[in-house]
Amino acid sequence: MSDRELLELAAKAYGDPSVSARAEGPFHTRVIGYCEQMQCEVTTQWNPLTDDGDALRLAVRLGIAIEMHPAWVYVRAVPPGDHLRWLEITEGWAHTKDPESCVRRAIVRAAAEIGKAGAK
């Protein structure tokens, strides 16, 4: 699944109407206000694959549990309407110097699975 597809499904699961896709880029935007002088919405990039704050807000909103290990992260969540199974994702960082990006990706992958389950 591409990063854009992951973000689209994660945004769907996030359920914030202020988050929308931008056709020209691999990320989404989030409306954060309105500029009276220019008569337009003020937006910021929403990308939990690259932004720790966006990833944390996504994990909190969706109830994604994060468990850290020396060389990998394990995340789990209960998909909405399906309390009989856990959704489980692992991401390893043994071959990278960026464990934070692996944690963000695991969160987004779990959110995308939740978004996918909500589409059914």
Question: pTM of the prediction?
Answer: 0.81
- Contact (Cβ atoms closer than 8 angstroms) between residue 62 and residue 40: no
pLDDT score, position 63: 93
For the chain, give percent helix, strand, coil, nearest 5: 35, 30, 35
pLDDT score, position 93: 84
The CB density around residue 33, as the number of other CB atoms within 10 Å, is 10
Angle at 28 between CA 57 and CA 51, to 5 degrees: 45
Residue 22: C-alpha distances to residues 4, 16, 25, 43 (Å) = 10, 15, 6, 11
What is the rounded CA–CA span in Å between residue 40 and residue 33?
9
Mean pLDDT by 10 residues, the chain (120 residues): 88 79 59 71 80 94 94 89 82 86 95 81
pLDDT score, position 86: 83
pLDDT score, position 119: 55
pLDDT score, position 34: 73
